[in-house]
A and B are shown apart, each in its own frame.
Chain A
Amino acid sequence: MRVETLLGGLILSTLGLCGQTFEQKGFVEAEMFGFPQTAPNDSGHFVGDLLVRWQASYQPVSWFTLSGGLEEQTDTHGDTEKSFRFDLLDRGLLRPAFALRSLKVTLHRGHFTADIGKQFIQWGKADIINPTNRFGPHDYLNVLDSEVLGVYAARVNAEYHGTSVDLVWTPIFTPSRMPLINQRWALLPPDLPPTVENAGTVFPGGGQYGARVNHIGKGYEVSASIFEGYNNFPLLIPIVNPASQTLYVQRFYPKIRTYGTDAAIPIRWVTLKTEAAFIDSRETSVNAPRSDSYVLWVAQLERQVREWVIAAGYAGQTVFDYRYPIYFDLDRGLTKTFLAKAVYNLDAPTSFSFETATRQNGGGTWITAEYSRQLATHWRLIGGVTVIAGNANDFLGQYHRNSFVVVRIRYSF
């Protein structure tokens, strides 16, 4: 027997004897997107992705847990870095090939919990958009298929008799990953110079802070939050070089303050979930672009009817002060929109889901349907169709050439 096997067995048996727990899980997923139409800046019809994700947690004593996750990915379309660099910060334009997804220490004692390290922090109760979710940047390379990114943070939570207080500090800023300029999910106006390139990013240097109080009452749940930091969606600064006929686009993450509230109220027939945030600039530098001053809000009704889960709602936006017109912000893009979602679980291993979003002015519509089936204990096959229609000058409608079919196969372990 090899020494490693012996040592491994010894360690595992020691863990078991001491009542310590080690848990791990992960999956390997291959997916293929097929786009019937080309886009002005993207002639590809197929995109293939491969993702391996593994996560583990170790709890030597009841009050201490060390947990983390790693991921490896590659693709056929230049979405992922083609280097063996191990990424810790998730700040690149491309997805890293090898990355630390999370790594945190959790200390839990009585009513107090502290999480320190790279982690996921998601505020808000709505499912359509989350205006109060300021510590949850996402990967939006494929705008309609996003994934949350981890942030380096210290988070302390105290919970007592249904009221909890969440205090968060992040020393390092993590941006949302926006669509790539040379690919179909970044649609550029037609009158631009012939060459458009990235001009880099101005990353903010300071920390971010936030506090949230959540209260579960008799027949309602409500929270209020405040955030001071940087918008993880960028303002885009155009820099034209007439000599080379090139437009350079620089990403700038404006300093903002957010006041937010969200609530969930179960009533006789439906559960009302609502969320709103007032976002304003806190930029002090005279030369830096400033964020608009605006309110994002969402109201949704949700009901579970036998095997159906149905949610429908409206996302709105009121702008008080327009300050900077060029930005990428999916939350703002999806406002003035009616959204609906229905999931039907056919039987234990099979489900069917349907999602749609329609702009109130009719400028854009997006419909997606997905069928998912467990093939064996570890395997799942998912097939989906997404249809996007609308006008080129609408946030959703601009993607009208990006309708696609997708097939995913996943092995979970």
Chain B
Amino acid sequence: MNKSWVLLFAAVALWGEDAREIAQKAQDRTRSQSERYTGTLDVFNGNRKISEKRWTFDRTGSHGDSKAILRFTAPPEIKGVALLIINHPDRASDQWMWTPALERDRRIALQDRSARFFGTDFSFEDLEERDVDQFDYKLLGEETFEDAACWKLESRPKQKKASQYTSSELWIRKDNYVILRIDHSKKEKLIRRLDYSDIEKIQNIWTPKTIEVSDIPRKSRTVMKVEDLKYNMPLQDSEFTIEALRHAR
């Protein structure tokens, strides 16, 4: 093997390692033991607002190994509906839903995590946390995005990670490792875009307070505003069980 091939392989290896390192740093800088926020979601079809929802979100644990409870507080007809999400590092999450009208919890069949979550443009998979170990990364280049210098990365799910997306492109700010945009594609066709904005430093973690998710084929979008966000709350594991799901906080 001649010297130029060796150099090329070395460059490719370094390129790949950098991409994973960037993704790892982006993940590490958002790591917290727990999180609590209130989300207000406006769902738009084209430019027409068709619904408004509000939920509270509690999480304990972090990327790939976390538990979360999400409770709708508005509109009135779904107030009290709650979802327990148990994320696993090696497989799809387990989810249970509590429906107050039926007074029972039921396990959600989640073979297809591309299903929309309660009429929003988030899919069930979008609500799970991405863990760097579940993806392979490639650095595509550097770009200026929203007036900020960014790395542009491509991620592809590893074999055992079942994902609706075959690839994703991520724009990560160079100065603080905040993700500004994720474009999710299926068979090289863009199907969902997540834009993160209103970035504030909360308890030393750079945090987007507005997340806009667009379902490209449907031409619909959901804008979530994050309020009252707190990290590292003293939340107990026992608050993230099926029993806890049944009881309103």
A127 touches B112 (CB 8 A): no
B248 touches A380 (CB 8 A): no
Report B-chain residues with C-beta under 8 Å of the C-beta of A306: 112, 114-116
Nearest B residue (CB) for A130: B104
| B111 partner, pick from A57, A108, A271, beta carbons under 8 A | A271
Report A-chain residues with C-beta under 8 Å of the C-beta of B45: 347-348
Report B-chain residues with C-beta under 8 Å of the C-beta of A271: 107, 109-111
The number of residues on chain A lying at the interface, defined by a beta carbon within 8 Å of a beta carbon of chain B, is 53
A377 touches B75 (CB 8 A): yes
Q: Which 5 pairs, one residue from A and one from B, show the smallest C-beta to C-beta distance? A: A348-B119, A271-B109, A120-B103, A412-B76, A302-B109
Kindly state whether residue A353 has any CB partner on chain B within 8 Å.
Answer: no
Q: For the complex, give the distance between the alpha carbons of A348 and B48 in Å.
A: 12
A122 touches B104 (CB 8 A): yes
Question: A148-B103, A216-B94, A266-B109 known; 7 other A-B pairs, CB under 8 Å?
Answer: A110-B236, A214-B242, A216-B242, A271-B109, A347-B119, A378-B76, A380-B77
Kindly state whether residue A349 has any CB partner on chain B within 8 Å.
Answer: yes
Across chains A and B, the number of contacting residue pairs, with CB separation under 8 Å, is: 116
Kindly state whether residue B106 has any CB partner on chain A within 8 Å.
Answer: yes
Q: For the complex, give the distance between the alpha carbons of A311 and B109 in Å.
A: 10
Kindly state whether residue A221 has any CB partner on chain B within 8 Å.
Answer: yes
B119 touches A345 (CB 8 A): yes
Kindly state whether residue A269 has any CB partner on chain B within 8 Å.
Answer: yes
Report B-chain residues with C-beta under 8 Å of the C-beta of A293: none
A164 in contact with B242 given A270-B109, A303-B109, A378-B76 (CB within 8 Å): yes
Question: Could you list 25 A-B pairs, sorted by A, with CB under 8 Å?
Answer: A25-B76, A25-B79, A57-B248, A65-B248, A67-B248, A110-B236, A111-B238, A127-B106, A148-B102, A164-B242, A216-B94, A218-B91, A221-B94, A268-B111, A271-B110, A271-B111, A304-B112, A306-B115, A306-B116, A307-B116, A347-B119, A348-B120, A378-B76, A380-B77, A412-B76
Kindly state whether residue A113 has any CB partner on chain B within 8 Å.
Answer: yes
B106 touches A125 (CB 8 A): yes
Q: For window 138-188 of chain A, which residues contact chain B by CB distance below 8 Å? A: 148, 157, 159, 164
A412 in contact with B107 given A65-B247, A157-B243, A307-B115 (CB within 8 Å): no
Kindly state whether residue B17 has any CB partner on chain A within 8 Å.
Answer: no
Report A-chain residues with C-beta under 8 Å of the C-beta of B106: 125, 127
Q: For window 119-167 of chain B, which residues contact chain A by CB distance below 8 Å? A: 119-120, 124
Nearest A residue (CB) for B123: A306
A199-224 to B contact mask, C-beta < 8 Å, 1/0: 00000000000000010101101000
A347 touches B50 (CB 8 A): yes
Report B-chain residues with C-beta under 8 Å of the C-beta of A303: 109, 111-112
Report A-chain residues with C-beta under 8 Å of the C-beta of B91: 218-219
Report A-chain residues with C-beta under 8 Å of the C-beta of B22: none
Kindly state whether residue B233 has any CB partner on chain A within 8 Å.
Answer: no
Q: For the complex, give the distance between the alpha carbons of A113 and B81 in Å.
A: 20
Report B-chain residues with C-beta under 8 Å of the C-beta of A21: 249
Kindly state whether residue A374 has any CB partner on chain B within 8 Å.
Answer: yes
Kindly state whether residue A248 has any CB partner on chain B within 8 Å.
Answer: no
A110 touches B238 (CB 8 A): yes
Kindly state whether residue A273 has any CB partner on chain B within 8 Å.
Answer: yes
Report A-chain residues with C-beta under 8 Å of the C-beta of B210: none
A374 touches B77 (CB 8 A): yes
The number of residues on chain B lying at the interface, defined by a beta carbon within 8 Å of a beta carbon of chain A, is 41
Q: Which residues of B come within 8 Å of A, CB atoms?
A: 43, 45, 50-52, 75-77, 79-80, 86, 91-92, 94, 100, 102-104, 106-112, 114-116, 119-120, 124, 220, 236, 238, 241-244, 247-249
Nearest B residue (CB) for A119: B103
Report A-chain residues with C-beta under 8 Å of the C-beta of B109: 266, 270-271, 302-304, 309, 311
Nearest A residue (CB) for B162: A268
Kindly state whether residue A59 has any CB partner on chain B within 8 Å.
Answer: yes
Kindly state whether residue A388 has any CB partner on chain B within 8 Å.
Answer: no
A164 touches B111 (CB 8 A): no
Kindly state whether residue A1 has any CB partner on chain B within 8 Å.
Answer: no
Q: For the complex, give the distance between the alpha carbons of A266 and B236 in Å.
A: 27
Report A-chain residues with C-beta under 8 Å of the C-beta of B77: 27, 374, 378, 380, 410, 412
Nearest A residue (CB) for B115: A304
Nearest A residue (CB) for B76: A412
Report A-chain residues with C-beta under 8 Å of the C-beta of B100: 55
A159 in contact with B75 given A106-B247, A269-B111, A347-B119 (CB within 8 Å): no
Report B-chain residues with C-beta under 8 Å of the C-beta of A269: 111
A25, A148, A270: residue with the most chain B Cβ atoms closer than 10 Å: A25
Report A-chain residues with C-beta under 8 Å of the C-beta of B249: 21, 59
Report B-chain residues with C-beta under 8 Å of the C-beta of A219: 91
B69 to chain A, nearest CB (A): 14
Q: For the complex, give the distance between the alpha carbons of A264 and B94 in Å.
A: 11
A304 in contact with B110 given A25-B76, A345-B119 (CB within 8 Å): yes
B43, B79, B243, B249: residue with the most chain A Cβ atoms closer than 10 Å: B243
B76, B104, B109: residue with the most chain A Cβ atoms closer than 10 Å: B109
Report B-chain residues with C-beta under 8 Å of the C-beta of A266: 92, 94, 109-111
Nearest B residue (CB) for A108: B247
B120 to chain A, nearest CB (A): 7
Kindly state whether residue A23 has any CB partner on chain B within 8 Å.
Answer: yes
Report B-chain residues with C-beta under 8 Å of the C-beta of A59: 248-249
Q: For the complex, give the distance between the alpha carbons of A111 and B244 in Å.
A: 10
A4-21 to B contact mask, C-beta < 8 Å, 1/0: 000000000000000001
